[in-house]
Amino acid sequence: MPYQNLSLDERGGALRITLARPGVLNALSLELLSELRTVLTGPATDDGVRAVLITGAGRAFCAGADLASTSVSGDIGAILEESYHPVVRAIAALPKPVVAGVNGVAAGAGLSLALACDMRLLSDQARFTVAFTGVGLVMDAGCSYFLPRLVGLGRAMELAVSNRRVDAAEALSIGLGDSIIPAANFAEDAFTYSQRLAEGPTLSYALVKRELRASLDNDLEAQLKLESASQSEAAASRDVREGVAAFSPTRRDDGRAANP
């Protein structure tokens, strides 16, 4: 299926989704959001896809809502529910790691999109600005849920009212990013990073994603229950049999095997 606002490529079980409106810093038109939702609830759910990378074409990750095509005087609540929330929910629901490859600036709902992902891999040219209050709006598309959980309440408030630009080094130090790689070969290196995730134990990663996301809201008792249930599921999988067998004395080739 052809997409007008995204490009897709797949390698070694990793699906790369590139937001492709570089002339407007990959700003989110309703068409782009609709295509993103289609991919996240379609091709990205295929069993052969074991990791997803979302990144941006050109010098930006995403500048947020397309302010040139969006009317902020209409029923924004309905627009959010119809166009933005399905994307945020689809990322949460995918049972595989979804990485934001933040190649450049992420602003407003572009920041929200990066925060909705499971991890944020930053180019050394990445920068963030909350931006919403700069145009008289408030955080949306999950920003007010994820941001304080990642950076703390006070810092989230400070970022939201100042709209100052946070560079990659600061983003890493406050928990907005998880690692930084050089911009020079970012598109390729971020794809390789996602491919490595795709080679890992997919069920294990899916269950860890479920545990971590649930921990944002669960109390200790609920989380302990979820860990037990998740561990039982993981323990029944082929990945765990292979992983544990690698430590079995009968498989050792260093001459120290216990049971000849």
Which parts of this chain interact with ligand T3D (CB under 6 A)? 24-25, 27, 63-68, 70, 72, 76, 79, 105, 107-109, 129, 131-132, 134-135, 137, 140
Tokens, residue 25? 């810093």
CB nearer to ligand T3D: give 32 or 206.
Answer: 32
d(CA 30, CA 65): 9
Cβ–Cβ < 8 Å for 146, 115: yes
Query: Which three-class secondary structure string do you get for 21-90?
Result: CHHHCCCECHHHHHHHHHHHHCHHHCCCCCEEEEEECCCEEECCECCCCCCCCCCHHHHHHHHHHHHHHH
Cβ–Cβ < 8 Å for 126, 171: yes
Closest distance of CB 175 from ligand T3D, Å: 21
Closest distance of CB 92 from ligand T3D, Å: 19
CB nearer to ligand T3D: give 163 or 192.
Answer: 163
Radius of gyration (Cα) for the chain, nearest Å?
20
Pairing of strands 127-129, 166-167: antiparallel
> Rounded to the nearest 10 degrees, what angle do helices 202-215 and 220-235 cross at?
170
- Burial class (CB within 10 angstroms; exposed 0-12, middle 13-18, buried 19+) of 90: buried
Closest distance of CB 76 from ligand T3D, Å: 5
Closest distance of CB 123 from ligand T3D, Å: 14
CB nearer to ligand T3D: give 13 or 142.
Answer: 142
Closest distance of CB 78 from ligand T3D, Å: 9
Closest distance of CB 39 from ligand T3D, Å: 19
Closest distance of CB 34 from ligand T3D, Å: 13
CB nearer to ligand T3D: give 46 or 81.
Answer: 81
CB nearer to ligand T3D: give 65 or 197.
Answer: 65
Cβ–Cβ < 8 Å for 108, 84: no
Backbone angle region of 219, left / alpha / beta, with phi > 0 → left and psi within -120 to 50 → alpha: beta
CB nearer to ligand T3D: give 129 or 194.
Answer: 129
Please give the C-alpha separations between residue 51 and each of 34, 46, 175, 200, in angstroms, as whole numbers. Answer: 21, 10, 22, 9
How many degrees, rounded to 5, is the angle at CA 211 between CA 208 and CA 217? 150
CB nearer to ligand T3D: give 13 or 56.
Answer: 56
